[in-house]
Chain A
Amino acid sequence: MKTGCFFTDWIKRLCRAQSSRRRTLRHGFAGLVLSLSAAVSQAHPHMWIDAKVDLQFDAQGQLVAVAQEWTFDEMFSSYAKQGLPETEDRMPPQAELDKIAADWMSALADPMSHYFTTLTQAGDTLSVAQPRGIKATWDPERERLSLRFELPLLAPADAKQAPVTVSVADPTYFVAYDFAAPDAVTAQTAPATCEATYKRPERLDGAVAARLAAIPPSGSLPPDLLRATQSLKHRVELSCG
């Protein structure tokens, strides 16, 4: 609290690859306690990420990958850098940063977080392949750590047929994303007819919240509710004329 103090969970989550034990736990004690208290998780960001999304296209003008850069807040950055060796100019060695980045990505690969990124087109979720171009960098000026990665689509998506939505969010609300930078959303290789627009998350209204709470943990969401939950995330909408 959460209770208590909620900070370490994210760090733990990022620093450790997750074991499959968790899945069995989900149905055990945790489930019991959670059912006691219904939906308790409140928005309590304890970590801030300045995010950038770049949509990447192939020669045919189809969306092939989503590149992201997440810059962590100072507090988390200093915690992640703690204990790392330093070069003479007080920089963490790149080999150490690579190790951290690899750990983070394997933790983020957990189906529950799924890189905190979802791609949808006409109501369908687009599958992605293994992330590539993974790199962590330390900015000595701002004393902040950044993580870069690309999520390639399994099959190229043609945004001319239907708009593609890229949504970014931490379902546990532990991380608060910010897309305030002027170049937060880019689509440099996009065909001239395409436009990528950023949409800020909407507030959850009471009626939707009540319907969501009534759905059992194992149940699936009806399409309109799925749309409603998508609207709670940061979204980049790509439409091509």
Chain B
Amino acid sequence: MLNRADILGRLAICLAITILFGALLFGASAAAQVQSAHPFAVPQQTLNTPSLGWFDQWTGQIAIWQSQFYKQLTTAVRAWKADGFQAWWLLALSFAYGVFHALGPGHGKAILSAYVVANRETLRNGAILAFVSSLVQALVAIVLVAVAAGLMNVTGAVLNEMTAWLELSAYGLLVMLGVWLVYKHLLKPIANRFMSSLVSAPSHHHHDHHGHDSHCGHTHFPAPEQVAGQLSLRKAWGAILAIGLRPCSGAILVLVFALSQQFFWAGAAAALAMGFGTGLTVAALALTSLTVSRAMESAGGGRQRPWGRWIGGTLQASAALLVLLFGLLLFSAAWQYSVSLA
């Protein structure tokens, strides 16, 4: 049966693309994740090899810049305390730290880039999602430190455990998000196509008159053009929380330091500036991946043509699988860490 061969082909291509991107793009951040949960889990020889190839050189250089900004944060907090006009210095440093932090290996930008491609978000919504999730991340750090360290006065070790649990919940959400996306963009279209091929004549590929193609298209939502301009929170909260629930440890540390200086608000402002910087980088990367996927779709003639539709659907399905893969990798790494804590 032709249709079945087509479905299997699509599935194989999706898997291949996902695995390729997963290995290339995400390998670095996933490994960093595992490594951070188990600092000594990595063989010593490998660890003595700081940089190989342009990618590692690039991330290594970013890490150096990031460290330089970070190192000056404590001085900047004190300077602000002594002189209110020095506030801009702390804010600028934190913003720069955020920008470079997000350029290094990390999960937020990878998840969001895959998510917006899978959901075929508009550029505008992609950018909004990037900023909102980064700012939520900053707010989570601010609330965590304000309540746990400020009000309850817990120790650093307890803060670590709380962060680990937040991390685990974020990755749990990510797995659920991945499952949902895979269902929506891979399983459901395949099932629909399979069912319709069983039920109807081969001529079912009529192109709709009502602009809502549930057989060939892979979105069962209105076309992106129609939702452009509004971002449904109900649809996006999963992605926002999966990224934002895990507070950035750089933000936590600057907040705790500010707290020790009895100047918590400077820390909160710094955390928000970091979030804004991170959001900028994540938005840039999400927009890049959206633009590339759009260009690939247009190369096939756009959504109006079978090839363009095929490319678009395959990209969406691959991105959905990628979100699921990220989720599973990160969740199991965080799970192992939580188990070792308990």
Are B260 and A82 interface neighbours, CB within 8 A? yes
Question: Is B46's CB under 8 angstroms from A39's CB?
Answer: yes
The answer to whether A48 and B23 touch across the interface, beta carbons within 8 angstroms, is no
Nearest chain B CB to A214 CB, angstrom units: 10
**B45 beta carbon closer than 8 Å to chain A:** yes
Q: Does A81 contact B (CB under 8 A)?
A: yes
Asked whether A75 and B34 contact (CB < 8 A) given A81-B260, A112-B40, A215-B45, the answer is no
Tell me whether B191 is interfacial, beta carbon within 8 Å.
no
Contact assessment for B156 and A11 in the assembled complex, using a CB-CB cutoff below 8 Å: yes
Cβ distance B248 to chain A, nearest Cβ, rounded Å: 5
Q: Is the CB of A42 within 8 A of B56?
A: yes
**Residue B27 interfacial (CB < 8 Å):** yes
The answer on a CB contact under 8 Å between B40 and A110 is yes
Report whether B46 and A209 are in contact in the complex, using a CB–CB cutoff of 8 Å: no
In the complex, residue of chain A having the shortest beta-carbon distance to the beta carbon of B155 = A83
Least distance between B94 CB and chain A CB atoms (Å): 13
> Which B residues are CB-close (under 8 A) to A4?
29, 32-33, 36, 105-108, 246, 248
**Does B38 contact A22, Cβ atoms closer than 8 Å?**
yes
In the complex with contacts A42-B50, A42-B56, A37-B23 CB distance below 8 A? yes
A82 to B144, CA, bound (A): 14
Residue B43 interfacial (CB < 8 Å):
yes
**B291 in the interface, Cβ–Cβ < 8 Å?**
no
Interface digits, B50-87 against A, CB 8 Å rule (1 contact, 0 not)?
Answer: 11100010011001101100110110000000000000
User: Which of A121-129, A191-199, A217-225 is the contact stretch?
Assistant: A217-225
Nearest chain B residue, comparing its CB with the CB of A10: B39
Counting chain B CB atoms within 10 Å of each CB, which of A2, A5, A18, A171 scores highest?
A: A5
- Tell me which of A8, A40, A44 contacts B160 (CB under 8 A): A8
Tell me the smallest distance from the CB of A146 to a CB of chain B, in Å. Answer: 17
Q: Does A59 contact B (CB under 8 A)?
A: no
Which residue on chain A has the smallest CB distance to residue B154? A83
A95 at the interface (CB under 8 A from B): no
| Chain A min CB distance to B256 (Å) | 5
Q: Does A160 contact B (CB under 8 A)?
A: no
Interface string of B241-269 (1 = CB under 8 A from A): 00000101110111011011000000000
Interface residue from A36, A73, A173 paired with B47 (Cβ < 8 Å): A173
Residues of B with C-beta under 8 A to A12: 39, 160, 164
Q: Are A1 and B66 closer than 8 Å at their CB atoms?
A: no
Q: Shortest CB–CB separation between residue B330 and chain A, in angstroms?
A: 9
Q: Does B339 contact A (CB under 8 A)?
A: yes
- Which residues of B from 12 to 35 have beta carbons under 8 Å from A? 23, 27-35
Contact of B52 with A213 in the complex, beta carbons under 8 Å: yes
A49 to B42, CA, bound (A): 22
Measured in the bound complex, the distance between the Cα atoms of B56 and A25 in whole Å is 25
User: Contact: B46 with A3, CB < 8 Å?
Assistant: no
Please determine whether B67 and A41 come into contact, CB atoms closer than 8 angstroms. Answer: no
Residues B160 and A11 in contact, CB atoms below 8 Å apart: yes
User: Across the interface, do A171 and B44 meet the contact criterion of CB distance under 8 Å?
Assistant: yes
**Which residues of the partner chain A approach B50 to less than 8 Å between Cβ atoms?**
41-43, 173, 204, 209
Docked complex: A1-59 residues within 8 A CB-CB of B: 1-13, 15-16, 18-19, 21-22, 25-26, 29-31, 33-34, 36-46, 48
Q: Is the CB of B66 within 8 A of A82?
A: no
Q: Which residues of B contact A81 (CB under 8 A)?
A: 260
Measured between beta carbons, the chain A residues less than 8 angstroms from B153 are 82-83
| A119–B159 CA distance with the chains assembled, in angstroms | 36
Determine the distance from Cα of A73 to Cα of B74 in the docked complex, in whole angstroms: 9
Name the CB-closest residue of B to A218. Answer: B43
Say yes or no: is B37 at the interface (Cβ < 8 Å to chain A): yes
- Chain A residue numbers with a CB within 8 Å of B253 are 7, 75-76, 79
Chain B residue nearest to A5 (CB atoms) is B249
B27 and A41 contacting across the interface, CB-CB below 8 Å: no
A1-B32, A1-B33, A29-B332 given; A83·B149 CB < 8 A = yes
| Interface hits, B114-158 → A, CB 8 Å | 149, 153-158
B341 within 8 A of A: yes
Enumerate 27 A-B pairs (CB-CB under 8 Å) in ascending A order: A1-B104, A2-B33, A3-B32, A4-B32, A4-B106, A4-B108, A4-B246, A5-B101, A5-B106, A7-B252, A8-B36, A9-B35, A15-B156, A21-B339, A25-B38, A37-B30, A39-B49, A42-B51, A43-B51, A44-B104, A75-B253, A82-B256, A82-B260, A83-B155, A209-B49, A213-B46, A213-B49
Interface residues of B, Cβ cutoff 8 Å to A:
23, 27-52, 56, 59-60, 63-64, 66-67, 70-71, 73-74, 101, 104-108, 149, 153-160, 163-164, 246, 248-250, 252-254, 256-257, 259-260, 329, 332-333, 336, 339-341
* 7 additional A-B residue pairs with CB within 8 Å, beyond A1-B105, A43-B63: A1-B36, A8-B163, A22-B40, A22-B340, A29-B333, A44-B63, A44-B67
Q: Closest 6 interchain pairs by CB?
A: A2-B32, A37-B27, A217-B43, A83-B155, A7-B249, A3-B32
